[in-house]
Amino acid sequence: MADTSSTPDTRTPAQIEADIKRRRETLAETLDEIGVRVHPKTIVGDAKAKVVSNIDHTLGRAYVGVNRVVTEVKGQFVTEEGTPRLERVVPVALVAVGIVGLLALGSRRRKG
């Protein structure tokens, strides 16, 4: 706004009215924008978008971590050429069969 204390306003009444009209329109646009931003649907939508983004980010990081672990475990049982490392596969398979056998025996004893 013009500083009326040091310089006189030399605008015509039409210029003043046009300036007032322009400022009202700008103020109305600003108020409309504020109304949209604080509307409950907008707030909920923004919150949902933020949650989805955080979940996507977390799932992406989890996928990368799991993929790395799987690759490391696979590297323990398979050579770089893709052939199994029998010296590691056979003992693990025997332990797995033993555990399954013990579980089967345990469940038979409980039933009988």
Residue-wise pLDDT for 71-81, tens only, equals 999 888 998 88
Q: Tell me, what's the pLDDT at 5?
A: 62
Residue 41 has pLDDT above 90, yes or no: yes
CA dist 33 and 47 (Å) reads 18
Count of residues making up the chain: 112
- Supply the pLDDT for residue 4: 52
Q: What is the pLDDT of residues 55-67, one digit of tens each?
A: 999 999 999 999 9
Mean pLDDT of 85-110: 90
Cα 88 from Cα 105, distance rounded (Å): 26
